Amino acid sequence: MVFNSIEKLLEKYDNGETTIKEEQKLKAYFTQDDVVPHLESYRVMFQYFSTTKQEDLYTKDVPLKTKKSNIYQWISVAALLVLSLGIFTTQFGDNKKTYSELTMQEQKDYDQAVEVFSLVGSKFDQGESNMAAFGLMSNKLSQGVGKFEHVSEFSEATNKMFKSKKKKQNK
Amino acid sequence: MTQTDFTKLVLPFKDKVYRLAKRLLVSREEAEDATQEILMKLWNNSQKIKEYRNIEAFAMTMTKNFCLDRLKSKQAQNLKIVHSNYEENNTSLEKQVEARDSVDWVSKIIEELPEQQKIILQLRDIEEYDFDEIAKVVDMNPTAIRVALSRARKTIREKLTKTHRYGIQ
């Protein structure tokens, strides 16, 4: 390498005007052993710079704690919710079908059931009219009881009269 | 972001973070602690990290701030021993012995530089950052960086030639 160019570069270097490429050139020049004595101080500097970069390494491991996310727990909870909701809706909700959606057999069963219910219902009506007769009778009965009270009142009054007569006779 | 993703992301600059921390805090253990702290901070914010365009510059800025804070709190805690009658010109025997290993001597000289110059020199001469990148980390304009860099380089060489004159040669 031309010695002059190195000197020029060094001057620029001292003024902080060299580019990174030029600095790398200088480093390369000064890491070889035969350097002119009066540039010894530069040699020491550049050797220091390149050795520290190669040797001073960070070798320790960094304990990286992963933030344990609770997401899996929450997923299981959500899954449970979805499952129970599914069971609930299939068991109790959404089971209503219109008559036309039923199969033939189901329609037949349904018709029969309706018939039976209506039969029971009509008998029940009849029973109710009979019960009305009972109601009338009990009504009359209570009227009769009311009248009977009059009778008992009368008999009490007569008893009093008899008692007073008996007293008078004793005196 | 998984751990492997993060390691891959951090791998290119974790040594640079460590070296900058060591440059500022000097002691190896403290630099290791600082590096770990920085990497942990990055990891904890790994969701936000993707938004930064230049993660390396961001990490270096974090490192710089972290270390300067450390130094500040240390200075507040400890008494400083000041040698008022100390003369630099008379290189002591001890210094001459140290100077034998002149490469180590460079790091001792750099230790004495002001923090700002240390950071700039570290980023430029060792990590080979260009001026725009350095500007991001130290928040200075390129011209000011050039000036500081030039000063740092000249100081180092001045002190080196001094030791050479008194010491090795």
Instruction: Give the pLDDT confidence of B106-115 residue by residue, as tens digits.
Output: 888 898 999 9
Instruction: Yes or no: say if A22 and B128 are a contact pair by the CB < 8 Å rule.
Output: no
The ipTM, to two decimals, is 0.77
- B34 in contact with A at a CB cutoff of 8 Å? no
User: Which fold, B3-77?
Assistant: Rna Polymerase Sigma Factor; Chain: A (1.10.1740)
Inter-CA distances, A56 with A85, B16, B126, B134, Å: 62, 9, 11, 20
CB B144 within 8 A of CB B69: no
Chain A residues touching B161 at Cβ < 8 A: 41
Alpha-carbon distance of B37 to B59, in angstroms, equals 11
The residue in chain A having the minimum alpha-carbon distance to the alpha carbon of residue B126 is A49
The answer to whether the Cβ–Cβ distance between A13 and B15 falls below 8 Å is no
**Is residue A8 a contact partner of residue A25, using CB atoms and an 8 Å limit?**
no
May I ask the CATH architecture of the domain B93-168? Orthogonal Bundle (1.10)
- Residue B19: closest CA among B105, B140, B126, B134: B126
CA–CA dist A50, A25 (Å, integer): 12
Question: B144 in helix, strand or coil?
Answer: helix
Residue A82 has pLDDT above 90, yes or no: yes
The tokens for B123 are: 């980023």
Nearest chain B residue (CA) to A44: B103
- Kindly state whether B32 is in contact with chain A, defined as any CB-CB distance less than 8 angstroms: yes
The C-alpha of A40 sits at a distance from chain B's nearest C-alpha, in angstroms, of 8
Domain ranges of chain B: 3-77, 93-168
Residues A84-140 have pLDDT tens digits of 998 888 776 555 667 777 788 888 888 899 999 888 888 878 877 778 888 888 888
A41 to B160: CB separation less than 8 angstroms, yes or no: yes
The pLDDT of A36-49, averaged and rounded, is 84
